[in-house]
Chains A and B, each alone.
Chain A
Amino acid sequence: MNRDFPFDWQALPQNRKRYVLASLAATVVFLLLLLRLWQLQIISDEYYRTLSEKNRTRYIPIAAQRGRIFDRDGRLLADNRPAFNVTVLRQEVEDPELLLDRLSRFLSVDREELLKRWNAGKRLPRYRPIPLAWDVDRKTLEEIMENAVDLPGVLMETRPVRSFPLGSIAPHFLGYLGEITEKELGLPEFENYRPGDVVGKAGLEKYLEAILCGIDGERRVEVDVKGKSMRILKTQNPQPGNQVFLTLQASLQQVAEQAFDGQAGAAVVINVHSGEILAITSQPTFDPAQFARGLTTSEWRDLQTNPLKPLQNRAISGQYPPGSIFKIVTALAALKAGVATPSTRVTCKGATTVGDHTFRCWKRWGHGPTDLHKALKESCDVWFYKVALDVGIDNIAAMARELGLGSALGLPVGMEKSGLIPDRNWKRKRYGKSWYLGETLNAAIGQGYILTTPLQLATMIAAIANGGTVYRPHIIKHIENNGHQTMQSVEPEILHQAALPAFALDAVREGLEAVVNEPGGTAWRSRLDELPYAGKTGTSQVVKLRDDSRDEKLIPYRFRDHALFAAYAPAQKPEIAVAVVVEHGSHGSSAAAPIAKAIIAHYFGLDKQTPTSQNTTGE
């Protein structure tokens, strides 16, 4: 039954009101929706537009070529080469277990190790491929390429790494690169770096990071939600890093490094008129190519546990008692103070006694009557003991400081040590005790508390050579941008001008010349006939040995004395200064001087003449 309405009730105002209300309610709700759309699309339009841009665009960095490092003559020391890394794009891998299994066979890397790398890579954004192997060789690369079908998601990435065309050259100073750490990423100077970037970790690579790194380029790519790139929107090419020219001379550096022949020690060669470091080496050394490739755990452990500590930079952070080289300082102090003249005579009987202590000369039977010339030439200890008593430790220490010893010279690369020049004040502060006279005697011959670095010894002998000017040693010559314009060049900087009376300087130089060039001089066997040079040997005691008649070869290595030699060449109008330390090399004359000789000979081109002269005699 269909009920009809008793009257046209829909015309009733009450019902009319309900429709008006319902329509109004619907309209109001729609207006609210519209208001919200207005807020999203008109007011916050910019904000959401940015978000949607961020959604769809990815910035793929293109690594900039790291700046190259040259020697002073433009010979390439550190270059870049492409290294092939094996990476995996996560979203294309369906069965990671299987893939890692297969890859481990190609790469000959443990499955567990690969799994570790895979898991570590999961922290990267989804679109970033996970690196599984670095710097794989060409053969492995080809094998993987051939089997690409079985290895879905596996990609090859090339990344520039350091290469060293001349082999290992001053690796302690060039330094090495490594992946940026989380701690570094938090620092302001690394604000433009991303996780996974490679930065200088040591040496010049670290010091010149900002200059060498260049500016990474980037590719703006439109991607879909899976991170698959759809098209390239824009490419900005990277800007290579700047070129750095060092003061080093590659061939001289090589000669210095090879001259050690496996012994531990350091050699420094500087230009006496500028402080430019021409060669600087610390032995034993390490292979920077290993670092570039990425050290394996065992390689790293070997470097760490090697008793000779190849990672230590002995040239600037090795501190050695200078031994008899310090006699130069004692002599200058005495001459300047007027307590001795070049002709002051002391009769050496092999020892002298102060209080109840006997201080021995290295030569058991003594040197007989000795003046400054002979004292330097034959390295007589007794002469210096005598004058040291008159001049006093404070004068000696002051002279040492004037010549650049006792404080760091300000080489910005590596961890330079300051050495130590003791005096009365120092001892009181350090030990709370007063200075003993016997300690003055020890100091006079470069033993006791005195410590110097090879770099300081080279700087000191250079000051003797150039008339007393202490230059700040430097290793960077100039920096060029990619248009070969010089951006920065390092000028010689005078740290200090030592006030040395001319007569004193002349007398000491003459003595040093005799050391090498007169028979009986301690370095006579290392003379160069073609080129007279000047120098001073030193032997620094590691431990005091009671029985000095024992055969040196029977003394355990670690108890043998250090051998030192400081020289400048040529003797007249000097150009270069050389300091050599051979750890546990026993005698400066036998172990250190030949190395200096080889360096000097090479610098002046004397080592090349030998084969030529043989040729001429042959014909």
Chain B
Amino acid sequence: MFDRRLLTHFDWGLLLVVLIIAGLGILNLISVTSSWTTPTAPFSLKQLSWLGGGLVIVSIICAIDYRRLEYLAFFLYAGNLLLLLLVLLIGRTSMGATRWLDLKFFNLQPSELMKIVIIITLACFFSRNEQVRGFAFRDLWMPFTLLALPALLIMKQPDLGTAMIVLMIGASMALFAGSQPATLSGLGLLAGGAATGGWFLLHDYQKQRILTFLNPESDPLGSGYHIIQSKIAVGSGGFWGKGFMKGTQSQLSFLPERHTDFAFSVFAEEWGFFGCVVLLALFLLLVIWGLNVSRQASTRFGMFLAFGVSAMLFFHIVINLGMVIGLLPVVGVPLPLFSYGGTSMITTMTGVGLLLNVSMRRFKF
């Protein structure tokens, strides 16, 4: 079963980009946590072990031909939907949100899993349904339903960030599959309407976040604190930054969530504009590399799969950076490979595994 050509076609470049970004993330984490006194293992070591775990997952995924996933898509989707329902029923609640299933040895976050599963599901759908002149409205009810069900369930948790990511992945994949111009504008209108209507469905804290984003100075010590402190951290970095472990905003704990969602602001403070350009270039390289994998895929399924993963990475990066530098409201979206956290690392590495998988099987034989 194992083909030696798979190794020769292995996409080492992609893995290298991933490892460099993750390495920078760990370096950043060392700086963030240098002033912390933790009795347990340091965060950087933990993150390193998550990265190791991620690499194991990557190799497992690579070992299995991605094309087999196409047949599993329905079961994966149905199973994940069931898990999302279970979360709402018996999930573990923490900080006002019910997102986790307690599996004794670790907490499973089905919404995170859904990011990958929706990619597989939609890739499966779009690879099987081809419309030469693009999709019309009536052709899209199926993927729309596939997308709406998990999105609503995740919204209910509530987890606006993840729901948005799932929706955006789906929308971009539909867009990529191609649709008729009329459908496109119709969908645009629908999205606008949904956003307006959605405002009334939002929780108060979510509304507050959006209002705060529009005017953070209105509540500098309350809900605006994150954005203001983050902008101060990023802005005070200047061109060359304050230097490794010398960022006062993070070292003196002014920056909240600085090892997770706001890790980038620490990086920006300590490495300055120069460092940001390097990191952003690496991230862009990762996204475009993903698109390239999609372009060279040997099957339509692989093409959509790789595109979906690229979209997932792209939206994570853009939403997180946008939030950290005050362009988008604060939604809890981590920066892939960079923010501390096992869940994010596993999801991202699964995506990377899929990309590598599609990439190494790009030749038809």
Contact = CB atoms under 8 A, between A and B. Distances in A.
Interface of A: 2-5, 10, 15, 18-19, 22-23, 26-27, 29-30, 32-34, 36-38, 40-42, 44-45, 47-49, 51-53, 55-56, 222-226, 230
B235 interface: yes
B95 interface: no
B128 to A, nearest CB: 7
Contact of A30 (B128, B249, B283): B283
A18 B231 contact: no
8 contacts: A10-B296, A19-B295, A22-B176, A41-B237, A45-B235, A47-B235, A48-B235, A225-B252
B322 A41 contact: no
Determine which residue in B233, B252, B300, B314 has the highest number of CB atoms from chain A within 10 A of its CB, and name it: B252
Interface of B: 67, 70, 127-128, 176, 178, 229, 231-239, 248-249, 252-254, 268, 272-273, 276-277, 280, 283-284, 287-288, 291-292, 294-297, 299-300, 303, 307, 310, 314, 318, 321-322, 325-327, 364
Contact of A48 (B232, B294, B295): B232
Contact of B249 (A36, A38, A55): A55
B53 to A, nearest CB: 28
Contact of A42 (B231, B238, B248, B364): B238
Contacts of B237: 41, 45
A19 B232 CA distance: 37
Given A19-B294, A26-B288, A5 B272 contact: no
A220 B277 CA distance: 35
A61 B128 CA distance: 74
Nearest to B256: A225
A3 B178 contact: no
A2 B284 contact: no
B128 A3 contact: yes
A51 B288 contact: no
B79 to A, nearest CB: 22
A87 to B, nearest CB: 23
Contacts of B295: 10, 15, 19
Contacts of A18: 176, 178
A223 B254 CA distance: 10
Contacts of A2: 67, 70, 299
Given A10-B303, A26-B284, A41-B276, A49 B252 contact: no
A7 to B, nearest CB: 12
Contacts of B300: 3, 5
Contacts of B296: 10
A27 B236 contact: no
Given A42-B238, A55-B232, A225-B254, 13 more contacts: A2-B299, A18-B178, A22-B307, A22-B310, A27-B284, A33-B318, A33-B322, A36-B325, A48-B234, A49-B238, A51-B235, A52-B235, A223-B252
B225 to A, nearest CB: 10
B325 A226 contact: no
B249 A52 contact: yes
A54 to B, nearest CB: 9
Contacts of A15: 295
A38 B294 contact: no
Contacts of B310: 22
Contacts of B364: 4
A226 B254 CA distance: 9
Contact of B291 (A3, A10, A19, A47): A19
Given A33-B318, A34-B276, A40-B234, A3 B299 contact: yes
A interface SS class: helix
A56 B236 CA distance: 12
Nearest to A45: B238
A48 B327 contact: no
Given A26-B291, A56-B248, A222-B252, A41 B234 contact: yes
A128 to B, nearest CB: 16
Nearest to A223: B252
A261 B314 CA distance: 92
B252 A56 contact: yes
A48 B322 contact: no
A41 B242 CA distance: 11
A163 to B, nearest CB: 41
Contacts of B303: 10
A5 B303 CA distance: 12
Contacts of A4: 299, 364
B171 to A, nearest CB: 13
B254 A56 contact: yes
Contact of B239 (A23, A45, A52): A45
Contacts of A44: 235
Contacts of A48: 231-232, 234-236
Given A27-B284, A49-B236, A224 B273 contact: no
A30 B283 CA distance: 9
A52 B253 CA distance: 12
Contacts of A47: 235
A33 B281 CA distance: 11
A42 B239 contact: yes
A37 B273 contact: yes
Contacts of A42: 238-239, 273
Contact of A226 (B253, B284, B288): B253
Contacts of A52: 232-233, 235-236, 248-249, 254
Contacts of B276: 34, 37, 41
A26 to B, nearest CB: 5
B239 A40 contact: no
Contacts of B292: 19
Contact of B235 (A32, A41, A56, A224): A41
Contacts of A10: 295-297, 303
Nearest to A44: B235
B209 to A, nearest CB: 19
Nearest to B321: A33
A5 B272 CA distance: 48
Given A4-B364, A19-B295, A45-B235, A55 B128 contact: no
A225 B257 CA distance: 13
A34 B127 contact: no
Contacts of B287: 26
Contacts of B248: 52-53, 55-56, 222
Contacts of B178: 18
B252 A51 contact: no
B239 A41 contact: yes
A381 B193 CA distance: 105
B273 A38 contact: yes
B121 to A, nearest CB: 17
A23 B299 contact: no
A29 B299 contact: no
A4 B232 CA distance: 54
Contacts of A29: 314, 318
A4 B299 CA distance: 7
B238 A41 contact: yes
B17 to A, nearest CB: 15
B327 A33 contact: yes
Contacts of B325: 33, 36-37, 40
A32 B314 CA distance: 14
A2 B71 CA distance: 9
Determine which residue in B176, B233, B235, B303 has the highest number of CB atoms from chain A within 10 A of its CB, and name it: B235
A38 B276 CA distance: 10
CB-CB nearest 9 A-B residue pairs: A48-B235, A52-B236, A225-B253, A40-B235, A41-B273, A224-B252, A48-B236, A45-B238, A49-B236
Nearest to A224: B252
Contacts of A41: 234-235, 237-239, 268, 272-273, 276
Nearest to B296: A10
A26 B231 contact: no
A26 B286 CA distance: 11
Nearest to A41: B273
Contacts of B280: 30, 33-34, 37
Contacts of A30: 280, 283-284, 318
Determine which residue in B70, B268, B288 has the highest number of CB atoms from chain A within 10 A of its CB, and name it: B288
